[in-house]
Chains A and B, each alone.
Chain A
């Protein structure tokens, strides 16, 4: 394995209960991904063959809200191992659409999917799969969040701006360029 002279920033991206649209918007930086390659090590992401969530991560971008016991476990581990934690997109920032299921009791949600909308073998999956939480939560309800990037999804330019600023050691100011939903 080759190591650069200036150690690259260790960056991770994670997706919890989101639609992957925030990750797509991240990829929408297009060729700028080649610029980033020079500055960062993507140490953890759905795009790379995953390792354990590593220790000592400089920046982690988290898409999605917290909906299952597994999400809950992951976000705590991520917080522990990350210096700057970014809530990426409305689902991570507010709960957004995933949290809409919270108005119904969980049992009704499951019945709709695995009973009413099924033909045979009607049953709730319980083996191997993690249990869902009764209530969907945004990240900051469980852990401290350092930077919020609203948007559904946030634009590629804003994501690139935020990451670039952090790599330069500055706290990004996104108040003028982001809004919820857009």
Chain B
């Protein structure tokens, strides 16, 4: 059977390939997304002190290290059985929001917007952030600024932009200074301006991407995200909830080790990334999505004024839940707006300068689970320790694993929509990659991967002879 291989998928975080199998008439039969490296964090932490976990686990991913620091620290709080001081919790929430802001800005401006600005069919040599700097300097500058804002908040609180050591079991290592708080507050209006401008611009573009909206993993699925009593957007505190495509609750109030009853992991013979599924329904019917789209479908309100207005408009896209994964981009921008507004509220709270920021305790439980909404979706860290506080076993479930089945679904759907016949074109293959980009997968997180095999796309015939070839 003829097979198209896209290797690697570019402008995503990590190394992956896509294979597309065609029948003899050139009709797409099957398409698969393969992740090509695994790092073994679940093993290499064994025997290490549990207090070392946040700093170690941060090294899973340099794009969202703060998410891993937070989920890991929450698991350690659980092991110590402490309730962390309120100020510490608020500071951690600011870190999480800053993390969401910078990571979404990276995904939207650096990685995906070249496809929107320069076009899905643009010259591959221009279709990147450098091309944007040349052709759309203002937009590039804005994107750089917005990511910088998020990174600077992380730096001002945590001391360092990537892998800040400040988030620790029991809270954070030291209080926030008034001068740093004021410096962040001063930058907020500009961050809001940039986000609103990007939202305005993107909404105007949607009309031009009708075919992408229709085919980018646009299908009914369940969604998983964090929920809470107020039904407001929640990224740090709460429990897990599954909803279906009609917004009905499928399972609720999932906390701690309960997740093992609802989330199953299935191995693939052709990818280092496992697929998670909703256990009670099994692998075939248990597909769900996580991340910005899931979170916006899940919450009733964002909880901040400007994001709430945008959310109301977003909901008008479809009758029940928003199902097209193309709208992940849109959801990401709304989440940035929410995050910046919420940071502002938290920073205006006088308690944010409180001096009590860390609870101290020795282990009081042999097991701990930390759950968090990372930029790309639900993140779970689960550790077991021995009586000396050394890690006995660890399990991490990461956003891209949750989305693996949906990404595969999307790759097939887009391939069917755009690939016709035996002539390959850059634009159609870029769209197959763009559906992966819409999910903003983080493969350093999910397993880790690299990014430098040549992109050599070959179309092979049933007997293995080359029908067409594209090199870039």
Contacts and interface: CB of A to CB of B under 8 A. Distances in A.
A168 interface: no
Given A50-B454, A118-B266, A31 B62 contact: no
A132 interface: yes
B295 interface: no
Given A48-B128, A49-B472, A108 B43 contact: yes
Interface string A130-159: 101000000000000000000011001000
Given A20-B13, A46-B13, A52 B130 contact: no
B10 interface: yes
A113 B38 CA distance: 9
A30 B450 contact: no
B133 to A, nearest CB: 5
B269 A126 contact: yes
A30 B36 CA distance: 30
B144 A30 contact: yes
A171 interface: no
A127 B270 contact: yes
A25 B19 CA distance: 32
B362 to A, nearest CB: 25
Contacts of A64: 450
Contacts of A161: none
Most buried by A among B137, B283, B451: B451
B265 A118 contact: yes
B110 A27 contact: yes
A98 B271 CA distance: 19
B267 A118 contact: yes
B63 A49 contact: no
Contacts of B59: 19, 21, 96-97, 152
A104 to B, nearest CB: 6
B62 to A, nearest CB: 2
Contacts, number: 224
A72 to B, nearest CB: 11
Contact of A52 (B40, B140, B283, B456): B456
A112 interface: yes
Given A16-B450, A17-B39, A33-B144, A129 B133 contact: no
A130 B36 contact: yes
Contacts of B270: 125, 127-129
Contact of B44 (A19, A25, A100, A119): A100
Contacts of B39: 17, 67, 98, 101
B471 interface: yes
B61 interface: yes
Interface string B58-85: 0111110100000000000000000000
Contacts of B453: 50, 70, 74
B367 to A, nearest CB: 15
Interface string B186-224: 000000000000000000000000000000000000000
A14 B40 contact: no
B27 interface: no
A117 B11 contact: no
Contacts of A71: 450
A98 B125 CA distance: 32
Interface string A12-24: 0011111111111
A129 B271 contact: yes
Given A37-B133, A47-B129, A129-B271, A17 B450 contact: yes
Given A24-B62, A109-B44, A37 B134 contact: yes
A35 to B, nearest CB: 10
A28 B266 contact: no
A122 B275 CA distance: 11
Most buried by A among B60, B129, B147: B129
Given A49-B124, A108-B43, A97 B283 contact: no
Contacts of B13: 20, 46
Nearest to B62: A21
Contacts of A128: 17, 19, 34, 36, 270-271
Contact of B40 (A16, A31, A113, A152): A113
Contacts of A67: 37, 39
B36 A25 contact: no
B8 A127 contact: no
Contacts of B279: 119
Contact of B141 (A1, A31, A52, A122): A31
Contacts of A1: 125
A19 B62 contact: yes
Contacts of B402: none
B130 A24 contact: no
Interface in A84-134: 96-98, 100-101, 103-104, 108-110, 112-114, 116-130, 132
A153 B163 contact: yes
A34 B144 CA distance: 10
A152 B160 CA distance: 11
A160 interface: no
A82 interface: no
B162 A24 contact: yes
Contact of B11 (A49, A108, A153): A49
Given A19-B444, A24-B162, A125 B127 contact: no
25 contacts: A15-B451, A18-B62, A18-B448, A19-B448, A20-B63, A20-B444, A28-B162, A31-B144, A33-B129, A33-B133, A46-B12, A46-B13, A50-B455, A51-B454, A74-B450, A74-B453, A101-B39, A101-B44, A103-B44, A118-B265, A125-B272, A129-B34, A129-B36, A130-B37, A153-B62
Return the 4 tightest CB-CB contacts between A and B, nearest first. Answer: A21-B62, A46-B451, A52-B454, A119-B264
Given A33-B144, A49-B10, A50-B452, 7 more contacts: A19-B62, A21-B63, A34-B133, A47-B128, A52-B456, A52-B471, A119-B265
